[in-house]
Amino acid sequence: MSQIIAITLPKWGLEMSEGTVTAWHLAEGQSAEKGAELVDIETDKIVNSVELDQSGTLRRILVPEGEVAPVGALIAVMAEPAVNEAAIELFIAEYKPVDASFEPSEQGAEAAVAAPEPVAGATPPAGADLRATPLAKRVAEQSGVDLATVAGSGHRGKVTRDDVARASAPARSIEDIRAENATIHASPIARKFAGEVGLGLAGIAGSGRKGRVSLADAEAAAIRAGLWSRPAKPARGAGPAAAMPAETGSEQPFTGMRKSIARALAASKQNVPHFYTTVDLRIDALMDLRKGMNGSGGAKISVNDFLIRACGMALTEHPGVNVHVSENGVTLFERADISVAVAIDGGLITPVLRDAGQRGLRDIAGAAADLAARARARALTAEELKGGTFTLSNLGMFGVREFDAIINPPQGAILAVGGPRREAVEGPDGAVLFATMISATLSADHRAIDGALAAQFLATLRGLIEDPMRLLS
Amino acid sequence: MAEMTMRDALNQALHQEMERDERVIVVGEDVAGGSGGSSGNEEAAGGIFGVTKGLKTRFGGNRVIDTPISESAIVGLANGAALAGMRPVAELMFADFVGVSLDQIFNQMAKFRYMFGGKAKTPVVLRMSMGAGMNAAAQHSQTIYPMLSAIPGLKVAIPSTPADAKGMLATAIRDDDPVIFFEHKALYARKGEVPEGEYLVPFGEAALLREGSDVTVVAIARMVPFAMKAVDKLAGEGITCDLIDMRTTSPIDEETILESLSQTGRLVVVDESNPICSIASEIAGLAASKGFHDLRAPVQKITAPHTPVPFARELERLYVPSPNDIEAAIRAVLKEV
Amino acid sequence: MQQSPDQIRQAYRQMRLIREFEERLHVENPKGEIAGFTHLYSGQEAIAVGVCENLRESDFIISTHRGHGHALARGCDPRGMMHEIYGRADGLCKGRGGSMHIADLTKGMLGANGIVGAGQPIAVGAALACKARGDGSVAVSFTGDGASNQGTVFEAMNMAVVLKLPKLFALENNGYSEHTGASYGIGSDLKTRTEGFGIPVWEADGFDYFSVYEATEKALDYIRAGNGPAAILATATRYFGHFEGDPQAYRAKDEVKTFRETVDAMKTIREKVTGAGIFTAEELDEIDAEVLALIDSSVDSARNGPVPGEDILMSDVYIDY
């Protein structure tokens, strides 16, 4: 025996992936003949011995008695006494064990949920019947695409709906589509929508009077053509149940917190003359900035943190919105102390983030996260709940598009923010672009705040959100 | 409570039930093993996965019966013995061998009670190992519970922990309906706390193994520990999930799944089966028909691909859904607003 | 019929190839590189080779879970098989099947099979095709004592008789049906049972190549004459467990040792061939050395063979993909 022999943990049968070394029959330095028992290995099913398949000297035991090792692991090394220690060390260091584990692949986490890749290199044979899915044929007909010009990505080069959509999109300019749509019998709103998403209305069977194409028809066609998807709607309750008897239900008495919410908000809604102004904010730049900042370490910054910071700055610029209102008059504040609404089990709590106009984003993010966590743990002090000058309420994470909030007296205004949505917008050269938008609605107390002031405040807010580098200053 | 493997937990349930009720018998290939062998050891195997070890020594050859390799006759024998008043626990070494004995399962045991005007009782438990992960290739690795769960008249139990294995096998043996009892072969060595003495886990009650608010994750068999790994990892990031182990796929505990979905609005179903007509499809369908208004994102089905189970390690590792796949699916449902 | 020295040399080489292929796998298996189930054929070489040496190119065989011997005897490429057993992309079945599903349709080898008793009805179908072709081809199914208790085997036997098909039932009794003795599992005996279906049975010594060859020759003469199915029944033993890792508690400690030292198939053929002066021991040793080198190189290349990936996982589910 001139070379070094690896003794590995054996695989005995289908189920075995590891074993416990229960007894070594040789000590390091001892020799034995072929067929001698070297080591006992135990699994939860069996105990068995490894026999030497050639004579030799045991030089190194790597897994002591009582320890578990996976199948294929190096558990000992045999070599002639002439082989020096350094060679054995090197052998051990360089030994690559077999991976006999039963664990599935750790790769492909993303691929697993992605759509299957088109079969590569599959193109339809020339001159053969055009292979296209029935859906693709219909969409091609509707969008005026010649199937013969479309490369198929389906099985054996079959043309799919997506292939047709791709083929139809860049073929004609948006102006061409709009010009053609102008000649189609369609409702104005349907035509406007079609122009926005780049949908040709020709060939769509209209469901309206005299075959007029309605918005619903156009939306359905745009979905089929892969040009548009319906924005997520806020969750709804179950639909009306026809002819079912009324349910009795069971009354849950108000908790203390719900009682105080009920009292304060009922008073506000009854006594405070609310008015509402809504603005759409494009947040693509903000999202990019946030991604960059969150990628660089430090406390994670949420969209809401950006909003807190922007409100703080806008309030500093428009102190007329940063007010408390009473029956007798208005109190203006220099500092923007923003109440941030946090939903918790059984209600709502609004801890105050002080001086939001002057604090940096990471500072705000840390403070907001701390307040929210302690709000959920009900560990806030009374001091932290008092003295807000303005409230920010964000239901975006629940899929809400926009909503009107009730002012939290004695504050003069509250901003209600919905969730992001993708919207088709017209780009600088007339092309259709997709933008990420959120809507923000300011509820203001008309006794102290006029419409123009509300609008100016929102314009400032919009400027900050859409040019988010300004939030870093 | 004692810590033991799922193999030993099943073995304990068989011992206890055979002790309790002498009508309980165990039949199958090599459930004892060694008959006719040259060593004279008449309990040389105890089942190829060791689940029936010691039963023949304890209860004798009249109650622990080695059979020839005749799957159709094994199931038929169990059916007849059950109709005649015994409570057989029959074993098919591998679930794939249902292919050999399917008539006795789906035309016979499943239908006796209904066809015979409610007069028949067929208290058969048909145990079988299943699942990929050990490179046993296309004919020894399948998870065919969707197929059998679709057959009216059969109950289908699929434990994922040693405790459930014990409690559900005892319940199966005491059930007067035929029960298909799947044991994932990669879980036999899984250890866990198991209650001592009599322990029963009712059918049709899913287990809620983790509680959270962001996503509902439903899993079966070996996918349960995989899902738990993903869920626990995400909990570290503040993403919390309800993790539901279905435990039985017939009956299905719809209430637990729908209730959780109403809390989270997001659903990931993990199923080692092939995707078409899978349990994942069934649960996605349940969400679409009875939980539609709660859904805030498309349901994610995590299943094996639509291929037979491959042999090579690298291929099988790609085939079996992994904790990473589950984590990605949870993240994907959270991306939808 | 007298066999030529070339035929005998070929038969000896095939048997040696099977023996060394399996003995080597028994050594390699515990190392953990080979995944899944491996069922070895060592001890039964004379049966696979004794049957297959009688076959023509146009004939079919179908095998069992213990299929390496049948595949090699039928001429499947040992290197391709070794790569398959190691789960390589360039294995005979692209690493999808492994030891238990080795097949090569180009060699008329309809596959090893993981389902006990599944092959016999399939071979009945192949025999139907042979009959339709009218070229005198036959289909052979190998059936162990364990599989002989499956209903599928009874159905296949009866149907082959009813349809008078050119089908050879090669019955191999190796003494054990998995972990249970054949004497326990088989109610009467395989010869009487098979004859009960109207199928004539030629018995053979499963350790003796010449005995199996002659029994098969007679059975095939009967079949190719258009009489319908026939059977051979050869008795031997397997040297290793039901699968690799089987502790074989059902076997007496010295049982295998006794077989190896007394009636071993390789020992038997060597003694007969050298005793009759057809080849010298040295000439046979040369064949042995060539076979060992082939197996060494097959194992080396299989250990370093290409790993299959997603493309292999996701293709050949259907003709289309």
- Closest-CA residue of B relative to C185 is B68
Class in CATH terms, B2-194: alpha beta
Instruction: State mean pLDDT over B145-174.
Output: 98
In A64-123, the residues whose Cβ lies within 8 Å of chain B are 99-100, 102-110, 112-113
List Cβ neighbours of C317 (8 Å cut-off, separation of 6 or more). B306, B307, B308
Phi, psi torsion values for A438, nearest 5 degrees: -130, 155
| Cα gap C276→A111, rounded to integer Å | 66
Instruction: Check pLDDT > 80 for residue A234.
Output: no
Interface test with C, best of A5, A12, A34, A156 (most C CBs within 10 A): A12
Interface test with B, best of A11, A14, A105, A401 (most B CBs within 10 A): A105
The pLDDT score that the predictor gives to residue A137 is 79
Of A362-371, A429-438, C38-47, minimum mean pLDDT range: A429-438
B325 close contact with C: CB closer than 8 A = no
Residue pLDDT, tens place only, C194-242 = 999 999 999 999 999 999 999 999 999 999 999 999 999 999 999 999 9
The pLDDT score that the predictor gives to residue A124 is 39
The pLDDT score that the predictor gives to residue B164 is 98
* Angle between helical axes of C265-275 and C45-52 (0-180°, round to 10): 60
Report the complex ipTM: 0.91
- Quickly count: other Cβ atoms within 10 Å of residue A258's Cβ: 14
* A176, C19, C267, C275 from C278: Cα distances, Å: 91, 21, 15, 8
The pLDDT score that the predictor gives to residue C157 is 98
A47 close contact with C: CB closer than 8 A = no
| Cα atoms in the Cβ-side hemisphere of radius 13 Å centred on A193 | 21
- Beta strand ranges found along C155-229 (DSSP E): 167-173, 176-177, 180-181, 201-205
Contacts of A among chains (3+ CB pairs under 8 A):
B, C
Q: Which long-range contacts (CB under 8 A, 24 or more apart) does B196-199 make?
A: B196/B1, B196/B2, B197/B16, B198/B16, B198/B170, B199/B13, B199/B163, B199/B166, B199/B167, B199/B170
List Cβ neighbours of B270 (8 Å cut-off, separation of 6 or more). B217, B218, B219, B220, B223, B226, B227, B280, B302, B303, B321, B326, B329
Could you give all domains of chain C from N- to C-terminal order, each with its CATH number? 5-302 (3.40.50.970)
Instruction: Check pLDDT > 50 for residue A214.
Output: yes
- Quickly count: other Cβ atoms within 10 Å of residue B17's Cβ: 21
- Quickly count: other Cβ atoms within 10 Å of residue B184's Cβ: 26
Beta strands A68-70 and A18-24, pairing class: antiparallel
Largest CA distance in chain A: 106
Contacts of B among chains (3+ CB pairs under 8 A):
A, C
- Cβ contact C246–A13 (<8 Å): yes
Instruction: Check pLDDT > 70 for residue A120.
Output: no
Q: Tokens representing A184?
A: 């189609």
Instruction: State mean pLDDT over A150-166.
Output: 77
C154 close contact with B: CB closer than 8 A = no
| Cα gap B240→B330, rounded to integer Å | 10
Say how many CB pairs under 8 Å bridge A and B.
Answer: 83
Position A245 confidence tier, pLDDT thresholds 50, 70, 90: low
Owner of token pair 């009682």? A259
Identity at A273, one-letter amino acid code: P
User: Is B207-335 in the same CATH topology as B2-194?
Assistant: yes
Q: Tokens representing B148?
A: 């059998």
Nearest of A230, A216, A235 to residue A421 by alpha carbon: A230
The pLDDT score that the predictor gives to residue A119 is 41
Is B140 one of the annotated active-site residues of the chain? yes
* pTM greater than the 0.80 cutoff: no
Position C94 confidence tier, pLDDT thresholds 50, 70, 90: very high
The pLDDT score that the predictor gives to residue A112 is 42
- Closest-CA residue of C relative to A49 is C247
The pLDDT score that the predictor gives to residue A1 is 44
- Quickly count: other Cβ atoms within 10 Å of residue A294's Cβ: 14
The pLDDT score that the predictor gives to residue A239 is 42
Strand-pair partners of B179: B125, B155
Instruction: Check pLDDT > 80 for residue C278.
Output: yes
Q: Are C104 and C128 in contact (CB under 8 A)?
A: no
Instruction: Check pLDDT > 90 for residue B60.
Output: yes
| Cα gap B113→B121, rounded to integer Å | 6
C183: which chain B residues are within 8 Å (Cβ-Cβ)? Answer: 36
Largest CA distance in chain B: 69
Instruction: Annotate C47-96 with DSSP letters as a single string.
Output: HHHHHHTT--TT-EEE--SS-HHHHHHTT--HHHHHHHHTT-TTSTTTTS
Q: Are A368 and A391 in contact (CB under 8 A)?
A: no
* A251, B69, C251 from C116: Cα distances, Å: 65, 8, 22
Give the neighbor-by-neighbor strand order of the sheet with B300-302: B207-210, B241-245, B215-219, B267-270, B300-302
Q: Tokens representing A13?
A: 């049968």
| Cα gap B279→B267, rounded to integer Å | 14
Owner of token pair 């389906």? A154
In B23-62, the residues whose Cβ lies within 8 Å of chain C are 29-30, 33-41, 44-45, 48
Q: Are B336 and B296 in contact (CB under 8 A)?
A: yes
| Cα gap B215→B222, rounded to integer Å | 20
Identity at A14, one-letter amino acid code: L
Owner of token pair 């609310």? A274
List Cβ neighbours of A184 (8 Å cut-off, separation of 6 or more). A191, A201, A202, A204, A213
Nearest of B95, C245, B126, B311 to residue A15 by alpha carbon: C245
C317 close contact with B: CB closer than 8 A = yes
* C4, C77, C81, C122 from C10: Cα distances, Å: 10, 15, 19, 29
Residue pLDDT, tens place only, A347-377 = 778 899 999 989 988 899 989 989 988 888 8
Q: Are C248 and B33 in contact (CB under 8 A)?
A: no
- Cβ contact A13–C30 (<8 Å): no
The pLDDT score that the predictor gives to residue A106 is 67
Nearest to B41 among C113, C151, C250 (CB): C250
A429 close contact with B: CB closer than 8 A = no
Nearest of A91, A154, A149 to residue A122 by alpha carbon: A154
Q: What percent of chain C has pLDDT over 90?
A: 98
A399: which chain B residues are within 8 Å (Cβ-Cβ)? Answer: 296, 337
| Cα gap B27→B56, rounded to integer Å | 11
The pLDDT score that the predictor gives to residue A170 is 53
Chain-wide mean pLDDT for chain A?
A: 83
B215 close contact with C: CB closer than 8 A = no
Q: Are C32 and C80 in contact (CB under 8 A)?
A: no
Q: Helix/strand/coil (H, E, C) string of chain A?
A: CCCCEEEECCCCCCCCCEEEEEEECCCCCCEECCCCEEEEEECCCCEEEEECCCCEEEEEECCCCCCEEECCCEEEEECCCCCCHHHHHHHHHHCCCCCCCCCCCCCCCCHHHCCCCCCCCCCCCCCCCCCECHHHHHHHHHHCCCHHHCCCCCHHHCECHHHHHHHHCCCCCHHHHHHHHCCCCECHHHHHHHHHHCCCCCCCCCCCHHHCECHHHHHHHHHHCCCCCCCCCCCCCCCCCCCCCCCCCCCCCCCHHHHHHHHHHHHHHHHCCEEEEEEEEECHHHHHHHHHHHHCCCCCCCHHHHHHHHHHHHHHHCCCCCEEECCCCEEECCCCCEEECEEECCEEECCEECCCCCCCHHHHHHHHHHHHHHHHCCCCCHHHHCCCCEEEEECHHHCCCCCCCCCCCCECEEEEECCCEEEEEECCCCCEEEEEEEEEEEEEECCCCCHHHHHHHHHHHHHHHHCHHHHHC
* Angle between helical axes of A451-466 and A284-295 (0-180°, round to 10): 50
Of the residues B15, B140, B184, B293, only one is catalytic, namely: B140
The third-level CATH classification (topology) of the domain covering B207-335 is Rossmann fold (3.40.50)
List Cβ neighbours of B315 (8 Å cut-off, separation of 6 or more). C87, C95, C96, C308, C309, C312, C313
| Cα gap C316→C306, rounded to integer Å | 19
Radius of gyration (Cα) for chain A, nearest Å?
35
The shortest C-alpha distance from A15 to chain B (Å) reads 7
Domain ranges of chain B: 2-194, 207-335
Could you give all domains of chain A from N- to C-terminal order, each with its CATH number? 5-94 (2.40.50.100), 134-224 (no CATH), 256-472 (3.30.559.10)
The pLDDT score that the predictor gives to residue A169 is 60
| Cα gap B189→B201, rounded to integer Å | 21
Beta strands B125-130 and B87-94, pairing class: parallel
Radius of gyration (Cα) for chain C, nearest Å?
19
The shortest C-alpha distance from A81 to chain C (Å) reads 25
Position A243 confidence tier, pLDDT thresholds 50, 70, 90: low
Nearest of A466, A418, A419, A421 to residue A442 by alpha carbon: A418
Dihedral sign for Cα atoms in the order B143, B149, B150, B151? positive
